[in-house]
């Protein structure tokens, strides 16, 4: 691990760089980099929200929003990887389903299903030609992102509580005199 960590820039190396000039001393705020309970949960929730929105490079706005809310930036970047090449089809289907339901367009799902039944290269043609597909994906992505963000937030809070209790029990077993 040390082999990789030595390449991570230190604060003294970042002072005076373009990042420091662009973001100021807020870049060095410890809340943005420490793995604390609330900041980590909020950072992961922000990353999960942006991960399902239908636009590229979700990590950039996720990092900016995480910095604005003073939450953990690395957790926000990790949250963006909830949608990856393996989980993308599931989230894409859910976005289409939710967006079609909310906008009252059930035929959009039928168009997509008939396209997938043909198993052809015409997936991108569907995205470009289907009327209102970007609106459906956008609405579905926002609703799914909010739901996923809330689930991630409370799951990380619960995980932190369980992990802290496990650490305390382990310490109590190893050092019974410290109780």
The reply to whether 101 falls in a domain is yes
The reply to whether 19 falls in a domain is no
The reply to whether 138 falls in a domain is yes
The reply to whether 44 falls in a domain is yes
Domain containing 63 equals 33-178
DSSP for 119-148? T-STHHHHHHHSTTHHHHHHHHHHHHHHHH
The reply to whether 23 falls in a domain is no
**For residue 18, what are its two tokens?**
């373009």
Per-residue confidence in pLDDT tens, the chain, 179 aa: 556 656 656 667 778 888 778 877 777 777 777 778 899 999 999 999 999 987 778 888 998 899 889 898 888 988 898 988 888 888 888 888 888 888 777 656 565 665 565 545 555 565 555 656 777 788 888 999 999 999 999 999 999 999 889 988 988 888 877 65
Count of domains observed in the chain: 1
The reply to whether 66 falls in a domain is yes
| Residue length of the chain | 179
pTM: 0.74
The reply to whether 71 falls in a domain is yes
Distance in angstroms (rounded) separating the CA atoms of residues 88 and 96: 12
Task: Give the DSSP letter of residue 98.
Answer: H
The reply to whether 20 falls in a domain is no
**Do 73 and 66 meet the contact criterion of CB atoms below 8 Å apart?**
yes
Q: Give the closest residue to 35 by CA, choosing from 68, 81, 71.
A: 71
């Amino acid at each position: 691990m040390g082999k990789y960590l030595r390449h991570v820039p230190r604060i003294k190396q970042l002072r005076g760089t373009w990042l420091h000039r662009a973001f100021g001393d807020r870049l060095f705020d410890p809340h943005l980099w420490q793995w604390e309970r609330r900041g980590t949960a909020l950072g992961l929730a922000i990353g999960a929200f942006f991960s399902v929105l239908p636009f590229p490079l979700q990590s950039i706005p996720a990092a900016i929003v995480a910095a604005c809310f003073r939450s953990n930036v690395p957790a926000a970047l990790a949250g963006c990887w909830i949608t990856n090449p393996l989980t993308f089809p599931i989230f894409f289907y859910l976005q289409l389903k939710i967006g079609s339901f909310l906008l009252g367009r059930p035929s959009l799902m039928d168009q997509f299903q008939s396209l997938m039944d043909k198993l052809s290269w015409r997936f991108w043609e569907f995205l470009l030609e289907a009327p209102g597909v970007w609106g459906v994906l956008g609405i579905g992505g926002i609703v799914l992102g909010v739901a996923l963000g809330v689930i991630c937030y409370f799951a990380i809070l619960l995980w932190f509580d369980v992990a802290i209790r496990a650490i305390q029990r382990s310490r109590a077993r190893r050092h019974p005199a410290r109780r």
